[in-house]
Structure formats: structure tokens, C-alpha cells
Structure 1
């Protein structure tokens, strides 16, 4: 099967339209109260690999619903006007997600260069994902 456009072309197109924050700049943003790191990875990735301290977990499959005030799933943190730094494992999903949020009209959104794998490889701070106990 021949696709009209492949994943790499989608990522390249998104990268040309969005802001990518280098690791050193992202590390400085970590202590900025006007910045929210948004982890869009699957919960199993967070439990296995950890996450950036104080990051908000917003699963990729729910992101558009969480940022839209007209959605029944809206999360007010996305309407506070803070800078959003999206990240995933390798900066592929976050590039596509950042482009989508820009198209939706979300201001001040960018993504992390190289994703969480680059963050972790650089020895930058991480924390364990704390699992919430299941209701019995």
C-alpha cells in the first residue's frame, strides 16, 4: 500500500511549523511557574521510564479534548495562559501534537527537543510516576 503522506513527512511538516525547545533552555524552564511540561506518553511509558518533575500527564489520545473549553473533558490548566512544553519519548508525537494545538489556537505551545529519552540521557531530573491505587 502506498500512502499519500508518511509519518516522517508529517513530522517534518510539523517541525517546520512549531517551536522546539533545546534541552538546556527546557531545564531552565523547569523552575518557571508560568511553564507547564506536558507529558503526552502512554501511562505505561511513564510507569516504566519516569517523567519530568511536576509534569502534567495528558495522554496523546485525550489532548485535544482536554485543551478545548467546549469539550466535556476540558482541563482548566490549559486555559491559564501558561507556556506549554509538550514531550513524548522521541519528539515525534509531541511535534504532531504541538502542531495540532497551534492549529486549534492554543498560544505559547512548543515541544522538547529529542523528547524524554534525550532528557534522561542528558542526566536531567526525573521522577517516578506515582500509580494511583485502583478503587476496590
Structure 2
């Protein structure tokens, strides 16, 4: 339930934002009631291969990560999001940051919570770190 986008969609609707929210999911039934209410503002798509997905995501104004409040691990999708070079809005579905959302909708991405250097996760970089670690022992 932590990563449920419905409270976020409800927030957007209550504030009257003009948006198009694209969700890649197999759980279309979660959004059945919304399609009737907001029509084309909600676009549900089935999963596609990763390379295609990254290309599609790179066309978006910004991306949304629904936080699961796990500070130990970084979800791999965040790294994929960073590869698209699009700003990432981190959303806690049950503690909505209205100011950050307002800024993103105004095209001001300074509040982007996810500032990740994709190069840190490049296999060559990671392998190099392992080699340095092995050399120290």
C-alpha cells in the first residue's frame, strides 16, 4: 500500500492540475474507477521491455517515484529513472508534499529528491570498485 498511486491521483484531481499520468502496470483493475472520471488524463500501459521503457520515460516531463520509506536499498527503477535524465519527484502517497508537487507542475525541478549519478551504477564503475577493494586486501 505504500506505493499506491491513487492518493496522489486524488490529490492532483482535488487541486485541479492539468496532467497526463502514464502508468505501466498489469494491475489495471486498481484504476477502473479513475478511467471513468478522468478519461485521457490517465494512461494505463502494459509492461514493455526495459530499453523501450527507458526511451518512453525519457520523453516525459518528469517521473514519479512512490517512496516505500526504505532507506537501506535504492530501488533499481530509480537507477533506470536516472538514466532517462528526467527529473524525479519522490512522493510519499500518504504524506503528500504539496509544495514539491506545485513546483514540479510549474517546471521547477530544484526539489527533485532523487539526484542520482547514473555513472555510479555503470557496471565498469562498480567492477572498478571491486578491483580496488580486492587490491587493498
TM-score w.r.t. length of structure 1: 0.34
Structure of greater Rg: 2
Higher relative contact order (CA 8 A, sep 6+): 1
TM-score w.r.t. length of structure 2: 0.34
